Amino acid sequence: MVNDKGADSGQLLTSRQLTALVVARAASCAGFFAVLPYLGLWLMDDRGLSGASAGLVVGASILANRAGGVLLVQLIHRLGLKASVGVGYLGAVVVFGVLGMGLRLPTYGWLVLAVLVGLFLAMATTAMKAQVAAFPPDQRLRGFSYLNMAVNAGSAVGPVIGGQLLEWQADRLPLSAALLDLVALAVVPALPGDWRAADRSGAPAPAGSTVGRRLPGRRFATFTLLVCGTWVAYAQVFDVLPAYLGDSVGTRELGLVFTLNAVLVVALQVPVSALSRRLLNHPRAGFGLLCLTANAVLALAVVLFGLGRSAGFGLVLTAMVLFTLSELVWSPLYDTQVGERRGELSTTAAYALAGVAWGSAESVGAWLGTLLVVHRSGPETLSGTAATPYWGGAALALLTGLALSWGGRHKSEKPLGGQEGNAHDVDVSARA
């Protein structure tokens, strides 16, 4: 029988809650990625902005989406996690609706709207991760695995929707995102947790509360910074690869490569995560070995991508299969570890800080990789600057795996009060 109390009662993640998490995350991601890849083009062609102004608007939206969780920590704790998810999606619906009203605004007007979209979606995403982190330890990896599957599904479907609308009726582009976020908003009542924040009752905070805690502990900071190496390697695939392989692999073939990634994630995330959970509990495996294996496979995939310009399309496909297998392990595993290593940070603050750090690492990796690829010495030169991001990314991934393997020999810190996943630990007044 399905029980809907979920995390707040310390019970298992129910099928209803799991379905709501997947639908909300997939729909919101599809809406964001239906607009983001085409936002600059839409602003220039349909709203008359210059290239520099359109780029500023797009960059501001991405930055707000990455860093917004940290800025909104206090507000999320005051509202509560479930209410924050609802407010985030409702705000995104309203702002996307305004974007689609056919307005003629100066650059700063579009800038404000783009930033608001990023902030509202960051609010919903951070609060949703904290909801999953509030579940019992043996259920968190499962929850984050489904979220990873939903993100990949949404980010694959979204650009297809946006591309078609851009050709058929460009004015409807933001409205499609508003409709998708409305779908996400509709399933919020089925998400885990209560609508009311834990601190609304006026009761005093317990001794050792996470209220007011701002700075991360050393263990959490070390883990978060080490994981940045994985995200730099990730950026060479998802952000730099089209520019790197542009001379040797056609656009259609490259699209198939990324479609393969999305299909494999949707098809394999659940069984791979089930295997990961068993390995985490195995006396001869555990977190360290899983991280080392996943990052070693990632490093191999990045090396194969680096060879792809001369070796051909078949090697690129093989590299994407390996890359996806590694992502299926490390992506939900890292999200789970954020909640377990947060120390005295509130759960939401921990996910917000980790999101900023990892988003910044991906951005820096993408910038450096693109810079080196654009100034490549020749299409077939493996020793020139063009392939440097791939050799460097592979080395970083392998070093990250080794470092996390060493750190994985130590047990995670217990959250405050010794109650891992306690809902009051999540909803106290210091949001993230």
Domain architecture of the chain: domains with CATH = 6-190 (1.20.1250.20), 218-411 (1.20.1250.20)
Residue-wise pLDDT for 44-70, tens only, equals: 888 888 878 888 888 888 888 888 888
**Per-residue tokens: 9:** 């009662």
Residues in the chain: 432
Q: Which residues of the chain have pLDDT under 70?
A: 1-12, 196-214, 374-385, 407-432
Tell me the C-alpha to C-alpha distance, in Å, between residue 122 and each of 50, 67, 129, 152, 259.
27, 8, 11, 17, 25
Q: What is the pLDDT of residue 5?
A: 42
Question: 246 Cβ partners below 8 Å, 6+ apart?
Answer: none
Listed residue (126, 71, 82, 125) closest to 350, CA to CA: 126
Closest CA to 122 of 424, 427, 359: 359
Angle subtended by helix axes 287-311 and 388-407, to nearest 10: 170
Listed residue (283, 222, 227) closest to 413, CA to CA:
222
Q: List Cβ neighbours of 226 (8 Å cut-off, separation of 6 or more).
A: 400, 403, 404, 407
**Which string of b and e fits 344-359 if b means at least 16 CB within 10 Å?**
bbbbbbbbbbbbbbbb
Whole-angstrom distance, CA of residue 198 vs CA of residue 259 = 42
pLDDT of residue 92: 96
Rg of the chain taking only CA atoms, in angstroms: 21
Tokens for 121?
């979606």
Residue pair 341/414 in contact by the 8 Å Cβ criterion: no
* pLDDT on residue 88: 96
